[in-house]
Amino acid sequence: MEIVGGFMVMMSILGFFLAVIWLIMPFVVFATKGKLDRTLEVLDGLDKRLAGIETQLAALRQMGDKPATGPAATDLPPEEEQQQSLL
């Protein structure tokens, strides 16, 4: 009889844990859905920003391969001058 009593205790503990999980699960699902929706919004924003960067890059490429002029092109540190001379 002790085996049946121990089995019933184990089953009642397992049933209690399953009931707790069953009650908590909807809240977990809804919280995950909210986070997923927020992630989708952020991803859409990143996609729009990337599209803008691609548009700007395409516009710069259409301007042609003009040689770089100005202080940014001529004032290179010595290390970068050596690297460019090797290329």
What is the distance, to the nearest Å, from the Cα of residue 65 to the centroid of all Cα atoms in its chain?
Answer: 35
Of the CA atoms within 13 Å of residue 52, those in its CB half-sphere come to 6
pLDDT tens digit at each of 87 positions of the chain: 677 788 888 999 999 999 999 999 888 888 888 899 999 999 999 999 999 999 999 999 988 766 556 555 555 555 655 555 555
pTM attached to this predicted model: 0.45
Q: SS3 for 34? A: helix
What are the distances in angstroms from CA 50 to CA 2, 5, 63? 69, 65, 20
The 10s digit of each residue's pLDDT in 45-64 is 999 999 999 999 999 998 87
The Cα 78–Cα 76 span in angstroms is 6
